[in-house]
Amino acid sequence: MKTRWLDRTLIRGPHTTLCKTEEQYLRVMREIGIDDPDKWLNPGQIALVHHFSSNIFGGRICVVCIGDIEGWDPIEVASILVHEAVHIWQAYVEFIDEDNPSKEFEAYSIERIAHNLMEEYTKC
5-54: per-residue pLDDT in tens?
A: 777 777 788 899 999 999 999 999 999 989 999 999 999 999 999 999 87
Q: What pLDDT is stored for residue 4 in this prediction?
A: 75
Q: pLDDT category, 61, cuts 50, 70, 90?
A: very high
- Average pLDDT of the chain, as a whole number: 91
> What pTM did the predictor assign?
0.88
- Is the pLDDT assigned to residue 1 strictly greater than 80? no
Q: Nearest-CA neighbor of 30 among 17, 42, 41?
A: 17
pLDDT at 122: 92
Contacts of 81 (CB under 8 A, 6+ apart): 47, 64, 66, 114, 117, 118, 121
Instruction: State the DSSP string of the chain.
Output: ----PPP--SS---EEEEESSHHHHHHHHHHTT-SSPPPSS-TT-SEEEEEEEETTTTEEEEEEEE---TT--HHHHHHHHHHHHHHHHHHHHHHTT-SS--HHHHHHHHHHHHHHHHHHHHH-
Which pLDDT band, with edges at 50, 70 and 90, does 66 fall under? very high
**pLDDT at res. 37:** 94
Q: Which of 18, 24, 50, 19 is nearest to 37 (CA)?
A: 50
